[in-house]
Chain A
Amino acid sequence: MRKRAARSALLALSLAIVARPAAAEDARPSAPLFNDADILEKPRPYFQIESIALRYSRFDQSGTGYQSRAGKPGQPGSEEMRVEQPQLEVTARQGTHLTHRIWVPVDIVTAASPDAIDVVSGSSRRNEAASFDWTATYARDRTTASIRNGLHNEENYRSWNTGLAGSRSFAEDNTVLSAGVNVVVDWFDRYLIDGTNAGHNARSSLNFNAGLTQLLSPTTVAHVDYGFTLQEGQLSNGWNIVPTPQGAFQLENLPPLRRRHAFVARIAQHLPWSGALHGSYRFYVDDWGIVAHSLEAELHQRLASFARLRFNYRYHTQAGADFFRTSVPLGAPIFATADSDLAPLHAHTVGVKGTFDFAVPFARTLHADVAVERYFRSNDLRVSVYSCGLGLLF
């Protein structure tokens, strides 16, 4: 009996010893003060807005051109015009690899051709145009693929565009090759010289691009790009005129086919005083006889951690189209345009832009910028451009 009591006491003691650590553990705080998500970041939501951007631009244009009817017979007419252009862009991430971009640009054009005879639509004096553009991009490892679709609508005019693009990086992302194809189809009302609606007409543009971006040094990056565009259909806008020696005018008559080649080279060099210098050259040639060269330079300077300034200058020179003329015999069945955009010309652009990026509590970055540019051309055209942007990066 005594032996049995001693065995029970030993068992109880053993249990007490074994149970002690557990009891001690029970005395510790039961829940940790942080969890895995606090250490590893919270899992991202499946659908997340990444950025919202707004931009407002205004173009004030003055000058004259022979294609405008707003002038004396045989003399260049007014090209005075004002364009207001608000834009909205939203980008969102869906899952790990997919990004969507929604872009809505609007153009409000006032006094595009004040004396035009387009009395049917009334679009001559004030014309509103809007587009809706959606791009979905799939990115995985070193490859991206995107599809783009868009609709454009303005008075008596519709347009659809679609495109595919892709890129692939090589050599530890030192080299990026990209290529894309775009198709644009325009469908619009056709007007005769007296304003009679003559049904509908169309044009299409097929474009192919290929580009290469290359890191050249820890402070230098370069890019080259080639683009080919094939346009078919009615390529005139429907209201440009060509004066006749008799003091009358007729609608411009453009070839129904145009093959266009553009080659662009860009380089950016970081400067030791928190600045950067960008340079670009563009060569253009088409089968209408236009050959053009454009040179552009940008000087960027950081003023503070949140502010930087940019100065830009561009020079453009082009030979005119083979069939550019400021007068054509009435009824002559020849290709002819008096459009000052297709004339031989030189153009200069000078501009300045201030950019500000602030850290804010409700987003990663609040972006703001304001820019002013002046464009002036050798054949009597001047444009002042004012633009400001506001954006949130999440």
Chain B
Amino acid sequence: MKRLVVASLALALGGCAIVPQNRRARLADPMMSLAQDPLEAHRKQKLYSTREGAAGGDGLAAGGGCGCQ
């Protein structure tokens, strides 16, 4: 757990260099989006949350809202 915290802090601190707006063309490509299409995200959540006891908890409540969770 400590390693994860250190890794996430290193990730955050490593990003302190500002990327100017005029150099973000590649970041604006839909392929670079870290957020999935919400309907596909739900499909994916359905696949895992009803088949793995360790699913959920990241972004939305783990369990609840469905009889099979």
Contact = CB atoms under 8 A, between A and B. Distances in A.
Contacts of B56: 229, 260, 262
Given A85-B46, A215-B19, A262-B58, 15 more contacts: A53-B39, A57-B46, A159-B66, A182-B60, A184-B64, A186-B67, A209-B59, A216-B14, A216-B19, A222-B11, A223-B34, A237-B69, A276-B32, A345-B52, A389-B37
A43 to B, nearest CB: 26
B62 A321 contact: no
With a 10 A CB-CB cut-off, give which of B11, B17, B23 has the most chain A CB atoms. Answer: B11
A101 B37 CA distance: 13
Contacts of A297: none
A235 B63 contact: yes
B57 A172 contact: no
A172 B18 contact: yes
A302 interface: yes
Contacts of A185: 64
Contacts of A290: 53-54
A260 B16 CA distance: 31
B65 A159 contact: yes
Contacts of A283: 1, 4
A29 interface: no
What is the size category of the interface that chain B forms with chain A?
A: 35 or more
B39 to A, nearest CB: 4
**Which 9 pairs, one residue from A and one from B, show the smallest C-beta to C-beta distance?**
A292-B54, A184-B64, A262-B57, A214-B15, A205-B64, A207-B61, A342-B53, A276-B31, A205-B61
Kindly name the residue among A59, A184, A258, A383 whose own CB sees the greatest number of chain B CB atoms within 10 A. A184
A227 B39 contact: no
A30 interface: no
A238 B63 CA distance: 14
A185 B64 CA distance: 7
Interface in B1-45: 1, 4, 7-8, 11-12, 14-21, 23-27, 29-34, 37-40, 42-43
Interface string A284-327: 11101011101000001010000010000000101011000000
A284 B67 contact: no
25 contacts: A87-B39, A172-B21, A174-B15, A174-B18, A183-B61, A184-B64, A205-B62, A205-B64, A209-B60, A218-B24, A221-B27, A225-B58, A229-B56, A231-B64, A265-B7, A268-B33, A268-B34, A284-B54, A318-B52, A318-B54, A320-B53, A341-B50, A341-B51, A341-B52, A357-B30
Contacts of B43: 55, 57, 85, 87, 385, 387
A288 B56 CA distance: 15
A217 B24 CA distance: 9
A103 interface: yes
A228 B57 contact: yes
A181 to B, nearest CB: 10
Contacts of A87: 39, 42-43
B67 to A, nearest CB: 5
A215 to B, nearest CB: 5
B61 A261 contact: no
